Structure 1
């Protein structure tokens, strides 16, 4: 333990050369630790006595907030005559400290905070400050005062706010609850929403998704869906937009990689209202908004580049947009970007504005300000006010000696959460709705190929090789060449989509690919982008070139190292013998024409021992291309093999499939699952079958192919046509 000289300074140790006063003013954590020691002796005892003597004299340190327990003991033993700074006067907090009032549900809290002390951290929400016992005692003596759980603040009923605020002003400087926060939260509680029109709801909404639509209606169509990734925010936004059909057309603003996803989702969930010709995906700035369209889909980039022209800022008739959806709304987190300047006025002017993001803020609380301004036209607080209230800041000297404030943490987080949830935001985590989610949810994600010439070349070669309808049936040299060209064609879109996934959140993911070109390009992208998140994130790669002896070490790193976010795997090299249950998301950057290989690959994450009981599987598919024919081939093969092996037909789309227990009962009773009827309910029909003995899937596929070819041969002979080469061989 450090010794002290007679002049009250440390002779050696952590604070060697500093006197007691310097340490008391600069190192709050050391002072708190010292005051907790029961058997202090030597220099430590002298320092503790100095702290107690300093508090008893009324001198206030700028950086020390002793534990409440120590102060309560001292307050109880302090004579009433010493609980005031002067005769007949109320003790006051030092000028470099402030009482911070924070809204918390139907209460508010009061805590002392140092203006010049150590910067606040996200964990504590404020910086510690020394408070004389007489002031702390006076706070606790105010009507309705109760200690908070962390014992660093006093809580009061909200109805006592005016009276407590008046008392606080007598004891020191006060940072009150901003008037705009009180006004917005009170208005949010009083707001009367719209009634849900049940007839317009899409079928098979999960309970929490219905709750999301109802929340959006309670906010009059101006809300932020902040659900964690994989919980169906797109569906909820479309369902909410359909409630306000009278305000259509809908303008959807999203990252360019998600434009076709939005079109497909709209056609799927709004099929009773929207047809293929009703959706316009805007790809160039030279395009005009089609008057007859019901949905316009445009990227942030294109909207921002057109902002000066204003072509897309209003409907073709010159009126403001009725319904605007902004997907991945964290893209408008900074006021100085072109996309924020273009999108926020658009949303403010729209009658209904719907934002979607699983990570509305990733770095600092002030990233929420543009999004709140977009949703709440009544929000008039400037970004500097917002940042000052909800961000812990520290002054830094930059080039030229100029001082700037840098955000180093968050403060008043409980109040900001209440502001969000009482006005515009609904947020659910996967763990909150696990019982409602399917074990595995597969999704086809359409992606766009910009190289139209290469895509035409691929289509032509595939037709010449074996015909479009047969694409993916055989693995010959021609098909291998076409498959390699598809890889090249979709590569830019795949990389763009992966970048978007990295932006969405921190969940671990597996990315499967087949060709070395795809694996190399994705690996380079991950090596470049992952370190930028400020958390030292990284990835692993396992393909055929990685020796078997080294794979367990890489798998263990992905499973146990929180900073290892992505596992890049080869479909054929990593389909078996690897367990990566830390991943909740599986992405197929490329497809493989054998469904068994795809299932084996995705089973790396969805298996016993998974830390995620629900897994999302995404297939990146180029629409209207041989790539899509591979997906359709996988879909058909999956249905055929599952019917033979399991006794019921199952598609790749796990969302539409029956629960496993029901499947078991259906199989036992001889009931097959039929297609959905027009009401959206799944019909059942009697199917006669015998459950086969276990057999290898490849053999089943061979038998099924032989049956199809035999049937084709019979049809050809009946029409007098010569058999094909394969038919002649069989």
Structure 2
């Protein structure tokens, strides 16, 4: 229950003092008693409100609004009938006492101004007459306000009246209370509390007082019957007035006036004396007042709760027995008892009647033990957010609740009366609080589970007895023993969680934890508190494991070998950790890894490797020896193909080398063939494509490399799965980014001892794509897909840095990524410029018309259906805006001009006239057609490539552009030619329209900025001002940070649009 004390600075102790004048002493006593008995459950404590739930005859709710209202007053309420009559009740006082105790213990109060009692009194206005503006009461004049209490057995009646004061001071005739008396502001405090109380009591008993019909109230204050509770409330106030007469049976005056007692309370004692025969004992009840014995018959016993009595005109509270028990005892007396019945008498007196003093003959009286040391204990109850604890004390075998008022405990077997040691009990409660438990009531505590895990063992060490509600023990869980055994590509982890002397296998503990439980039932019947800190710390790793049952029936967690590095923290956190020899060797190899040792190009490789490429061979070797698989994620243009070919050449002579499967996009098959012929001519290659490919399967065993495409893998997986490959290498592995696609599923079915992925953008659109590739490489390393999305992808997408760091640790050993800035510093500069083009007037008018149309309809649909259900409408609107920003002709407006198109033509002419070769990328083939037509008009020779260009033509056109100096331009569809092409002959790149995914643009630029480029590469991104394209740039920058934190890439903007993003795009 957090509390911001700095905001209001209300000091509850001052509030308590201010309020105390409004509460009857007996009400304060009862409220304090309720708090001490633990009847108050504080349900909310803040700087604005205190709320509680009070256990009485039924449950009542109390609220205290600490925010100052008019004139600085606060609002207080209770659901009990007593308060509904406008009278401050014991439930409110109990809440104030409990809250004040809570603040003291939590040291949460600061200095602040108290609230005036008169202001607080405004809360309690039961009737309008309380603040009547006129009519003063002067008690020294004619009449005085008086009360008469008539006690007759169990019935108590109260009357209030005014009585004439004669000149000699004696009292004369009586009259009913006048309106001016009721409305007087000068009434003493006691009368201002008594009269509303009597009015409320009269209404409850159908005496029907109505101040608006005052003339019909003849019996409003006459002989009002009082309940035991109301009697106890009124008597102390009546005694304080000094104007109350008490009459007993037969209307005999017992006290006139009734006065408060000189001491706190009276006590009931029972004495026993032997009769003349010496065999029987006569039992004599007595009342003890101020250490003097008073015969009960000399007192007037009043039926109240607690019981009160009048003796010599003064009012006393009688602790212990009920009125009826005392009354029966006084009227009927106590029977004579034989010696062997004395123990039963004592037991009854203490346990049933709560008589605290027994005066018995020598040899019969129990031994009185003082100064005993109590053993504290807590009864624990598990709740969703933590443990509730109820404190008790043990005196040997006797148990005393903190809330109990018993001052002595009767040890019947040992015939002892043990006096409770209040000082030691207080010290024990302070010790309990010192371990972080919050006290929420008298002897009631609360602790969250993290606190419990730390506090309970310490409490036990300090001798505090811990029990569950059912009497069973409560134990905290610790990871005691951990043993790891390993297989070929897996290792099993046997973890035992200790709860005292009992243990549970970790899978059972995890199951309870993932189901939202904080405790688990133990075999002994007790409850164990789950080690939530440990589980939370290692949760993401533990969720990656599979539950496994060993041959001997043990429940263990099974991990892939690739997780070996991740278990270091688990081993460190266990009290006892052991591993088998194989796992220890594997772990040592991993832990002793100091970095990648570069390997020189092998014999038979026709080329020269750069230093970073030699490091790649060392990394391949590291993975190969450990049986691990990884992603070579170098920047585009750094020669991933060459590095793989060099590695295959390197391991050609190793056992089990053949065959090695390489899967590539159709457009890259030619490139692989050409590179293999150039760099590794000794590696025998089978190109598994075309109509006659089935006949080539028999050549696999004699081939070093089998080269095929993703489409053929998908179609021929039934045949290919029969072959055991040494390597399965996926080029442009983002092709399997969708794990549910047939292509991805087919690739995962390929049987290979080793696997590699090659891609410049392993995360092209979102983090889910990383799971698909890692699942292909090292199955199970990131857990199930749904687990990964829930535990990693979604939190990471929301910027959870801790999750990102954990994911990074998981995948870092299996991803090698180098950027051109890091390793190819000899590459010429890459200059990127954004060219902002002003739309023509007619183009702007068309754009605004389309924008306004879609903005209204889309935002309305998003508000009513949500962004996911309006995706197609959003896509359509954004497409139309991008087409209008490019060229109105894309929307059929052939007569409209385009500012961007005009500027593009000027830049192209300038670049080509300057002797440069240019690449022109657009996602719209119609836009490429418009540019193509313009180049024809300008007499510029060019090549063209889009998704419909046949493979053979692609290779021919790439070679033509690279080798023929007269061809100055290459028009390329962004998606069709964004990867796999080597176009280093160009040094100028034009991105005509921005793509949602910046990685695709980077791929396009890197067709020319790659190894082999000798000229500075200049890139122009053409953006129409004040259009959706300008907004896209801003969103690209905002959206692409997450993936860069994993491996430097980007993510798909379009799939992660929010409603706020839409407002920006359509603004």
The answer to whether the superposition gives a TM-score over 0.5 is no
TM-score (norm 1): 0.41
